[in-house]
Chain A
Amino acid sequence: MYEGRPAARAGTGKDPVNLPMIRHWCEAMGDTSPAYEGPDAVAPPTMLQAWTMGGLCGHTARTGAYDEMLTLLDEAGCTSIVATDCEQEYLRPLRPGDEIAFDTVIESVSDRKTTKLGTGYFVTTRTDVRVGDELVGTHRFRVLKYAPSGRRRKPPPRPRPVVNRDNAGFWEGVAEERLLVQRCADCGTLRHPWLPGCNACGSLDWDTVESSGEGTVHSYVVMHHPPFPAFDPPYAVGLVELAEGVRMVSNVVGVPYDKVRIGLPVRVEFRRYEDAEGALTLPVFRAADGAAGAVGGEA
């Protein structure tokens, strides 16, 4: 469906063919040929593609079709790219001062293939390089856009909560997607985190109430550094005051990390994680709809 469509139209070289770039190329390649220096210097023919490169700032001539196709392949899991073939034909030498222009067409896209690197698609493009109206070279380029296999690194597992006999009831509640708060059986004071005794009266008797899950951000920090393998900084960690009055620490989601503010209304959400160590459910706090900067869906 993308075959035959242009990948770059009327691209122009960022620099005219010039001696300094030729010299840098020859230094890198260890090429001491006298043909590439002096007043009659030509460019090494194998530099053909280099004159078309976008460099650090990228291409400006790429068409929507090419980017759209790469995005589709990314979405199909083919996030890696490697060049596999390069076929160039040189019709006349390029000389300092030549201003090149180029058009690239997507010549073919293969069926999904299995390779040593992973499965993916070979995309072949052909670029015609011109100086003025004169065709000076053609350049056929093939890349494999693939989903890396085998050595693909799985995300490291999230750290697990430390569950002990004092707090086991809380985590059992979370596993059932219920946020349980301890309540003193004698004086009725609510407490969190879970503890064996009441801070207000010292009683060891307690029961639980299920929190509504509604709350507000009482305080927060944004984690930038150091990065921990299972997390993707920056992210916001909130101290959330629940409607029932106790406070709880967890991630604030559904809002950009830099839009978290004290007083932000939030509601508990139970997130399930599957990783190398199995399944895990954790309570996080999602910014309420309509809260400043809140975004729908995944944070």
Chain B
Amino acid sequence: MGTETTRPAVGGALPPLEIPITRTLIVAGAIASRDYQDVHHDAELARRKGSPDIFMNILTTNGLVGRYITDHFGPTAVLRKVAIRLGAPNYPGDTMVLTGRIEELDGAAGTATVRVVGENSIGNHVTGTVTVTFTEATVTVTLTDEEAS
């Protein structure tokens, strides 16, 4: 493993982020986002509505996608746009792996557009695009052994 500062490049992949989908995360995310819909905290009522269990709300997914981008681009990065579409629900016990690829880059403006996908065991939970402005020097990438070698 190694850590180094790199220049973002079009086509560059962000390191994946694995997020265990715990019941606690789903409920904490729902309440932190002020979303008290029963399908996000009450398994019995969720089942009555045809869902096998509680599932993550869209605001939490949005928050996790935003975090994924700012974790990568650093504390001075500023999110400009986040557009996401939900697919396979995030149920407790699953794991979501977020991956990202830089689609557009404007070096002068320090703006990147990143395509983000969050996949769980059922399929793509989220697909989306994030536009972020950043200061290049702050982009720190943790490389895997393979990439570092």
Contact = CB atoms under 8 A, between A and B. Distances in A.
Nearest to B76: A35
A84 interface: yes
B60 A85 contact: no
B16 interface: no
Contact of A45 (B25, B49, B82, B85): B82
A28 B86 contact: no
Nearest to B126: A86
Interface string A40-56: 00001111011001111
A34 B75 contact: yes
Q: Which of A29, A47, A49, A153 has the most CB of B within 10 A?
A: A29
A33 B67 contact: yes
Given A25-B32, A53-B34, A46 B63 contact: yes
Nearest to A140: B83
Interface of A is mostly: mixed
A45 B33 contact: no
Interface residues of A, number: 37
Contact of B63 (A28, A35, A87): A28
B64 interface: yes
Contacts of B60: 28-29
Contacts of B80: 89-90
Interface string B121-149: 00000000000000000000000000000
B85 A35 contact: no
Interface of B: 19, 25, 28-29, 31-36, 48-50, 57-60, 62-67, 70-71, 75-76, 78-86
